[in-house]
Structure 1
Amino acid sequence: MLQTLQRSRTRSSTAYVDHGRGDETVVLIHGVGMRIEAWAPQIDRLAEDFRVVAVDLPGHGDTPPLSTSAKLPHFVEWFDRTLDELSTGPVNVAGHSMGALIATGMAATAEEKVRRVALLSGVYRRSEAARRAVEARADEIISGAFDREAPLARWFADDEKDSEAYALTHALLDVVDPSGYATAYEAFATGDSVYSDCWPQVNCPTLFLTGDGDLNSTAEMAREMAAAAPRGEAVVIEGHRHMVNLTAPLEVNEALIRWLGREVKNDI
């Protein structure tokens, strides 16, 4: 049985958890089909030194869905509003997969609210073949005739099928709302280039982390974004795929702690 975390709600009913304390706040945004619990190893570690807020995406967990026509900018607007409702002030934003696209949108449109940005398993300017494949998956999900286990084959290696990370991800996919999943996945499928030109103008410390076996959020993408950002850093963790934050939590947490230790402009 899936063990869920106790949530609070903002004024507009975004579900979130708030753990730890510290001078800085880290806000975590999960990927499509997941929910707050997908960040469990990061919440536990980061809350030792920081205030950690993790949110359920619209249509996931306990957060109400957006309109079925919502695209990536609507999810960015939702997150921007959520930060206002939480009264966090400038925060450190870390997003995984779809959450990484939302974090990119915040860096592009509301940099004054962002101290540092981290993209885990982030996509960037997909190839035409990759775009066709992800759009085909979006169409299948929208139709309602989708296989909830299909992502697991992309996200995990065969030797990880007996792992706790695999079991947790499987459980989260089993309970995701089909309509909320479909809306977010379509935004994810069409959103990789919406804010992709922003990185040369983003001057805060930026981290781009992925697993070397992630065929969709590739190491090449992470390195290209890091090269484009003035203060970008790429971290590629060997032997891991899309759910790297669950399969390699120690390495991911170490990278996040280093990222959070980098100076921002106001600290210099």
Structure 2
Amino acid sequence: MTTLDHWGGTSRYADLDGAVHYVDFGGDGPPVVLVHGLGGSHLNWCLLAPHLVEHHRVLAVDLAGFGLTHPEGRGTTVPANARLLDQFLAEVVGEPVALVGNSMGGMISILHAARRPDSVTALALLDPAVPLPLGTRVDPQVAAAFAIYAVPGLGRRFLERSRRGVSTRRQVKRVLNLVCANAKSVPEEVVLASMSLLEQRAEIPGLDEAFLTAARSVVWTGATSRRYHTAMSRVKAPVYLVHGDRDRLVPVTSARAVARRNPSWRYEEFAGVGHVPQLEIPDVIGGRLVDWLARD
């Protein structure tokens, strides 16, 4: 057990058919569970969680293959991690929760809320992975990367080559430059913690394949849009959809289309923000979530 000193979180493990890592940020009140995206971890929430703990008990789970939850033979697809989230909520939290999901974590949270409506009191989606409307322009770098991920063997070689001779700081900065509209807004302590996590994960076998499997599953789930939209329509809890207008991974047009399809959802768009608003404007997002959860 370790403490995330800067942010008041305690690192814990639960035995859910294998060790699952999560961070307990403490706090009093109704529980909130934070679900990270593709390639992410509990660290994606370290700036947001302190804004929530005065009103909620806050937990951030590492999905299988990410953060400190090793794959260990477990599936890392979207459905597999949706099952892991279901088990985590049932066995670790033990009561209905507000889910906050980013990117792939938003997708997983939608599927869980549709399948287990009694376990979710509210659903906040921060730049969730959602279907692309026809004619949407995709960022060329993102499109090229996911095309490579889709090819067996090629994806693994691409990931290995991308790390070769590259410092951990540079690797972290490269990701932040992709997911943030302004990577310089992310504090140095987050960069250092991310570097440390990257070093811890460097010797764990199977992580590249876990990532690639998850990436392909995200694309497939988004591509089967009719089924995915049906799941969205089955969510009974109040939904707050947030999106940055400079998101390179999930274009803002996708969020706008989803908001139009689900007029009962609250939709808010942030100018000059990328794919991870919880890291870019954590104080703003924290305030919005606390106010919204108090009403809903």
Would you say same fold, with TM above 0.5?
Answer: yes
Amino acid at match of 2:59: V
Identity of aligned residues (%): 27
> What is the root-mean-square deviation in Å for CA atoms of aligned residues?
2.9
- CA gap of 1:127–1:172, structure 2 versus 1, over 3 A, is farther
The answer to which of 229-238 and 138-147 deviates more is 138-147
Q: Equivalent residue for 1:125?
A: 131
Cα 1:172/1:116, change in 2 over 3 Å: farther
Measure, in 2, the Cα distance between the counterparts of 1:139 and 1:198: 25
**2 CA distance for matches of 1:87 and 1:249?**
24
Alpha-carbon separation, structure 1, partners of 2:178 and 2:37: 14
Whole-Å separation in 1 of the counterparts to 2:149 and 2:178? 15
Show structure 2 runs of 5+ residues with no match. Answer: 164-170, 202-206
Instruction: State how far apart, in whole Å, the 2-side matches of 1:145 and 1:260 are.
Output: 42
* Deviation of 1:139 (Å): 3.3
CA contact (8 A) 1:225 1:232 kept: no
Question: Contact between 1:30 and 1:99, CA under 8 Å: does it hold in 2?
Answer: yes
What does residue 274 of structure 2 align with?
A: 241
Deviates more, 1:10-19 or 1:194-203: 194-203
Residue matched to 1:224: 257
The residue that corresponds to 1:252 in the other structure is 285
Q: Give distance in 1, aligned partners of 2:238 and 2:61.
A: 22
Contact 1:208-1:223 within 8 A present in 2 as well: no
Change (3 A) 1:239 1:172: farther
| Deviation by residue 1:236-260 (Cα, 9 ceiling, x = unmatched) | 1111111221111122112211321
The 5 Å alignment of 1:71-86 reads 71-86=77-92
Rate the CA distance shift 1:133–1:108 in 2: closer, same or farther, 3 A. farther
Residue identity opposite 2:71 in structure 1: P
Moved more, 253-262 or 23-32: 253-262
- After the TM superposition, which of the residue ranges 92-101 and 171-180 deviates more from structure 2? 171-180
**C-alpha offsets along residues 135-186 of structure 1, whole Å, 9 cap, x if unaligned?**
31423784242236454443134x5347427836963784454333223222
Distance 1:169 1:139, change over 3 A: farther
Cα pair distance change 1:160/1:74, threshold 3 Å: closer
Instruction: Mark the CA change 1:172 to 1:220 in structure 2 (over 3 Å): closer, same or farther.
Output: farther
Q: Which is greater in Rg?
A: 2
**Partners of 1:142 and 1:183 within 8 A in 2:** no
SS at match of 1:145: helix
Question: Structure 1 residues 250-259 or 191-200, which shifts more?
Answer: 191-200
Deviates more, 1:164-173 or 1:12-21: 164-173
Residues of 1 paired with 2:148 and 2:285: CA distance? 28
Distance 2:46 2:26 in 1: 13
One-letter identity of the residue aligned with 1:160: A
Q: Identify the residue that residue 187 of structure 1 maps to in structure 2.
A: 217
Query: Does structure 2 conserve the Cα–Cα contact (< 8 Å) formed by 1:29 and 1:99?
Result: yes
Q: TM-score, normalised by structure 2?
A: 0.76
Task: For structure 1, list consecutive stretches of 5 or more residues without a partner in the other structure.
Answer: 264-268
2:158 aligns with 145
Q: Which deviates more from structure 2 when the two are superposed, residues 5-14 or residues 92-101?
A: 5-14
1:11 corresponds to which of 5, 11, 15: 15
How many Å apart are 1:134 and its aligned residue? 5.8
Q: Is the 8 A contact 2:104 2:218 kept in 1?
A: yes
Q: Which amino acid aligns with 1:91?
A: V
Contact 2:10 2:25 survives alignment (8 Å): no
- The whole-number CA distance in structure 2 between the counterparts of 1:170 and 1:87 is 26
2-side partners of 1:152 and 1:21: how far apart? 28
- Native 8 Å contact 1:155 1:241 kept in 2: yes
Q: Could you tell me how far apart the structure 2 residues matched to 1:59 and 1:207 are? A: 27
Alpha carbons of 1:240 and 1:46: their partners in 2 closer, same or farther (altered >3 Å)? same
DSSP 3-state at the match of 1:187: helix
